[in-house]
Structure 1
Amino acid sequence: MSPVVVIGAGLAGLAAACHLTGAGYEVTVVERASGPGGRSGQLQRGGFSFDTGPKVLTMPDLISDALRAAGSDLSALGPLKRLDPAYRARYADGSTIMVRGSREEMRQEIADTCGSVDAAAFEEFVAWLRKLYLAEMPHFIDVNFDSPLDLLRSPRAAAQLVRLGAFRKLGDAVRSFFTDPRLVKLFSFQAMYAGLAPEKALAIYAVITYMDSIEGVYFPEGGMHAVPQALAAAAEKAGAQLMYDSPVEAVLRSPSGRVAGVRLAGGETVRADAVVCTLDTPVAYEQLLPDLRPPRAARPGKGDYSPSAVVWHVGVNGLPPAEAAHHNIHFGEQWDESFDALLERGTLMPDPSRLVSVHSLDAPDQAPEGCSSLYVLEPVPNLDAGRIDWKQEAPRMRDRLHAFLGQNGYPDDVVVEELLTPLEWKEQGMAAGTPFALAHTFPQTGPFRPPNVERRLPGLFFAGSGTVPGVGVPMVLISGKLAARRVSDYLPGPGR
């Protein structure tokens, strides 16, 4: 069996490990932390537990895909609940719209809150989203690219996207279905996951809206950290070796210039015929490949990065208000102005929209009895675009978020807390201090995004949010699978 090393036991690395182990490769996963998870980690403090990574889980079939590759199945994750509502959207005028768990219930929610015309349009909107998804996923997302010309290998799918208006602006596309501006916000804010303002993002990114607002948002009984735990257990049971507390300091090369393995910080070497690296791509080149010129978007000062976020993990005495959902989006009134500040001027949003997730609603063991485990997020500029002194701003931001909780009916008697700013994200190895990697501008999408293969160093491949297909739990799971395909093409496995 050909040995393969995977650097990083986050979602991308574990997905790659599951696919590679299932294909018969001898896989070793090396991880600098003391356990699996990567960005999808867990913080425990004072009887409270906090998921430190992604909060919104969509498309669980992609988790199932990786687990099946390693001979397991989705039951290994434990009970998985579809959240209903997926979101509670709260607007500046005091109104609320729930994103319901079924199409029928969502149509009724829109009828009750926005009127019958928009409710009728919802069915057309769903049909449009599904057509976008079916055109994009198999032809432009779940595929490897070797050059921009590969965009032409599926001419029917490309023509379908043109017919669907996928290359107009997302905000305009959503407005073509709905008259209520609240619905436009609700079904276009997902562009932020791709690092883009809804009014400037292409409508192709409505596929993200399809994934969460139509296909649903889920939550594992054990919290989001249960996902990497299940993937790690499946890979290990299938034969992979997982080495924790093992940071990598170099990618080794053979005399012929091919990958030969990795050297760990303690001096130990792990031999391999191929390496899958899941570090943020710019960081990987800076730390492990200093002699290779990075792809353009990964070079200092050249990439266009997504906004960052301040995240406040806070354990509080008291329970959330009865109307609170697991995920609560509080939309600001100054929508366009806030995106201009964030993305164009590099300043804080003048009227920020915020996310509050109350995981203890569906995982009571994440907080002591009578208490709540909260996650509060506010988008902020990344360190490249912003001019904010976070050492000075962090305590002021914390106080604003604390006041916001009380003003919106959440319990605010703080027991434990941890605040993460772009400085902390950078310390964790995230380029430009953002956990959302390179933005999905057109020059950084598909074949234009940093590739998942380094042809100047045969045997080196990449996975994670900094390469194809991009950011978000579904995308990084797919990236692990795509990297495994690259390895299989480079090192035909036992079954080929």
Structure 2
Amino acid sequence: MSQVVVIGAGLGGLAAAVRLAAAGRDVTIVEANDVPGGCCGTATLGEYRFDTGPSVLTMPEVLADVFAAAGEDMESALPLRRLDPYYRLRYHDGSHLDVVAGEDAMTERVRELSGAAEAERYRRFRARLGELFDAEWPAFIDRDMTRLRDLARPRVLARLAALGGFRSLDSLVKSHLTDHRLVKAHTFQALYVGLPPRRALGIYAVIAHMDTVGGVFFPREGGMHAIPRALAALAEKAGARLRYGVRAVKVEAGPSGVSGVRLDTGERLAADNVVVACDLSRAHTGLLPKGAGDWRLRRPRYSPSCLVLHFGLDRRLAGQAHHTLHFGGEWDATFEALRAGRPQPDPNLLVTYPESDTGAAPRGHATLTVLEPTANLRGGADWDRLTPRLEDRLLGRLADLGYGDLSSAPRLTLDPPAWARLGHSAGTPFALDHRFSQTAWFRPAGAARRVPGLHFAGMYTAPGVGVPPVLISGRLAAERVLESAR
């Protein structure tokens, strides 16, 4: 039986392990932490529990497909609920827009905010988002990009160009919408790929389609960390072994390819195939064998990072949406500051209030998470001095926005140095940005060309950052392993 070692029990590694175990492979997952999840992590502070990773879940069918690969129904193991609204967008001028399900309902919200003419423009733009998604998803997102010929799809590229996919995201959206508030609603997603809207390609409008049209979801119990816990249980049920609290220190390889993995316990796990699903930049500093180098990582360009404050509240917040985006009064200047490695002058904030996750706080209490984009560690800031300044400013901003004085509330802070301590290169949990030279085939390859049997999954590989892309990367890695055995 083929022996596979998966390094990292994050979403990508777990997705690969589930499929490989279900296909009859002998799978061992090695995870340095004591729980599964990787970037989709969890932390506690007294009686409060926080999700320390992604808070936005879209495309639940991608997750359901992992369960289906093992013959299981996701709804039974991991029931989800659709958020309503998906987002609440609050603007500097005091107006707001709830992003809701359904074309007619959403068009009516736009009409109330921006008028009948803009509502019709929005309806046409929504159709354009769907066209971009239909062209891009099967050809470039849900497809293996380890070979150059996979990128050369003239008809699809021509179609994407005709739809505006190779314009800047900013100009694409502005060619359809005139209200700056709606433009922001469909371009802030550029932050997910680590770029300002003026530098992100129009193809990333598919992210706006995924969350404003397809919807945003949340586990009914256990928060976002319920996802890796359910996947880990699924992998074990399929026959995989999980080793927690054990670190892989070296992938061994010979002339014919990988042969095993050395652990920090001194053990050696024999392997015909290895799937590396951890921080790829760090893996290249000693974990990987000679010959595994990838020219795409010679000059990596990392995404910005973030300052995240997790609060334990002694009260519930009436009428608060699960996700609220507070847009600052400055727009272009915030992105320019990020690009230059400076603090944003008037940052846009993502506030997450997982009210339905009742197990995250004592009865009558709640948790609140606030994310402010920041430069990563490559910016050279003195974070020992900068973090307290940004925390104080953020507390003041939250008070002004109506959240009250949170200065004495239990608080867990994650800044770029903290992300680095958690194992993220450049102190960013968002890996490489998605400029053209780090997209699709140009992103680090999913397999080592000169080391047979060595595969990669996670946000450093294609398709890239985000829960659905990372799950897809795991599927693609599993498919390459299974294909190599035929």
TM-score (norm 1): 0.95
Q: Report 1:390-405 matches (<5 A).
A: 390-405=383-398
Residue 36 (structure 1) aligns with: 36
Q: Is 1:387 aligned to 2:380, yes or no? A: yes
CA contact (8 A) 2:459 2:466 kept: yes
CA contact (8 A) 1:320 1:411 kept: no
- The Cα of 1:134 is off from its aligned counterpart by 1.2
Residue 287 (structure 2) aligns with: 288
Q: What do the CA deviations read for 1:307-365 (whole angstroms, capped 9, x no partner)?
A: 1111111112222252x21001011121001101101x110111111111001x12122
- The Cα of 1:295 is off from its aligned counterpart by 2.2
Q: Specify whether residues 341 and 224 from structure 1 end up closer, same or farther in structure 2 by C-alpha distance, changes over 3 A only.
A: same
1:454 aligned counterpart, secondary structure: coil
CA contact (8 A) 1:165 1:203 kept: yes
For residues 425 and 356 of structure 1, what CA distance do their matches in structure 2 show? 19
Pick the aligned partner of 1:327 from 310, 323, 327.
Answer: 323
- The Cα of 1:122 is off from its aligned counterpart by 2.0
Q: What do the CA deviations read for 1:204-234 (whole angstroms, capped 9, x no partner)?
A: 0001111101000001012101111111111
- The Cα of 1:257 is off from its aligned counterpart by 4.6
Q: Is 1:350 aligned to 2:345, yes or no? A: yes
- The Cα of 1:397 is off from its aligned counterpart by 1.7
Q: What do the CA deviations read for 1:45-72 (whole angstroms, capped 9, x no partner)?
A: 2211101110000001011111111221
- The Cα of 1:290 is off from its aligned counterpart by 6.6
For residues 164 and 31 of structure 1, what CA distance do their matches in structure 2 show? 43
- The Cα of 1:415 is off from its aligned counterpart by 3.5
For residues 20 and 58 of structure 2, what CA distance do their matches in structure 1 show? 23
Q: Report 1:124-135 matches (<5 A).
A: 124-135=124-135
- The Cα of 1:27 is off from its aligned counterpart by 0.9
1:288 aligned counterpart, secondary structure: coil
CA contact (8 A) 1:307 1:382 kept: yes
Pick the aligned partner of 2:442 from 448, 455, 473.
Answer: 448
Q: Specify whether residues 484 and 293 from structure 1 end up closer, same or farther in structure 2 by C-alpha distance, changes over 3 A only.
A: closer
Give the letter for the 1:47 counterpart: E
Pick the aligned partner of 1:303 from 294, 300, 305.
Answer: 300
Q: Is 1:338 aligned to 2:341, yes or no? A: no
Q: Report 1:96-495 matches (<5 A).
A: 96-152=96-152, 154-222=153-221, 223-254=223-254, 256-289=255-288, 291-292=290-291, 294-299=293-298, 302-322=299-319, 324-343=320-339, 345-359=340-354, 361-384=355-378, 386-413=379-406, 414-492=408-486
Q: What do the CA deviations read for 1:170-202 (whole angstroms, capped 9, x no partner)?
A: 111111221110000001110110111011111
1:50 aligned counterpart, secondary structure: strand
Q: What do the CA deviations read for 1:226-263 (whole angstroms, capped 9, x no partner)?
A: 11111111111011111111111111224x35111211
2:402 aligned counterpart, secondary structure: coil
CA contact (8 A) 1:40 1:51 kept: yes
1:287 aligned counterpart, secondary structure: coil
CA contact (8 A) 2:146 2:446 kept: no
CA contact (8 A) 2:321 2:353 kept: yes
CA contact (8 A) 2:291 2:451 kept: no
For residues 146 and 357 of structure 1, what CA distance do their matches in structure 2 show? 36
Residue 84 (structure 1) aligns with: 84
- The Cα of 1:32 is off from its aligned counterpart by 0.6
2:410 aligned counterpart, secondary structure: strand
CA contact (8 A) 1:316 1:412 kept: no
1:270 aligned counterpart, secondary structure: strand
- The Cα of 1:372 is off from its aligned counterpart by 2.0
For residues 250 and 235 of structure 1, what CA distance do their matches in structure 2 show? 24
- The Cα of 1:411 is off from its aligned counterpart by 4.2
For residues 110 and 459 of structure 1, what CA distance do their matches in structure 2 show? 51
For residues 76 and 297 of structure 1, what CA distance do their matches in structure 2 show? 41
- The Cα of 1:416 is off from its aligned counterpart by 1.9
- The Cα of 1:266 is off from its aligned counterpart by 0.8
For residues 65 and 454 of structure 1, what CA distance do their matches in structure 2 show? 26
Aligned length in residues: 484
2:262 aligned counterpart, secondary structure: strand
CA contact (8 A) 1:316 1:411 kept: no
CA contact (8 A) 2:292 2:450 kept: no
CA contact (8 A) 1:76 1:230 kept: no
- Listed as ranges, the gaps of 5+ residues in structure 1 are none
Give the letter for the 1:352 counterpart: P
Residue 73 (structure 2) aligns with: 73
For residues 375 and 318 of structure 2, what CA distance do their matches in structure 1 show? 31
CA contact (8 A) 2:45 2:412 kept: no
For residues 405 and 40 of structure 2, what CA distance do their matches in structure 1 show? 26
For residues 22 and 129 of structure 1, what CA distance do their matches in structure 2 show? 36
Q: Name the stretch that deviates more: 139-148 or 56-65.
A: 139-148
CA contact (8 A) 1:90 1:331 kept: yes
2:285 aligned counterpart, secondary structure: helix
Q: Specify whether residues 76 and 267 from structure 1 end up closer, same or farther in structure 2 by C-alpha distance, changes over 3 A only.
A: farther
Give the letter for the 1:30 counterpart: V
Q: Name the stretch that deviates more: 50-59 or 280-289.
A: 280-289
For residues 13 and 22 of structure 1, what CA distance do their matches in structure 2 show? 14
Give the letter for the 2:328 counterpart: G
Q: What do the CA deviations read for 1:127-183 (whole angstroms, capped 9, x no partner)?
A: 11111111111111111124333322x332222112111111111111122111000
Give the letter for the 1:313 counterpart: H
- The Cα of 1:44 is off from its aligned counterpart by 1.9
Give the letter for the 2:479 counterpart: R
TM-score (norm 2): 0.97
- The Cα of 1:464 is off from its aligned counterpart by 0.4
For residues 284 and 468 of structure 2, what CA distance do their matches in structure 1 show? 24
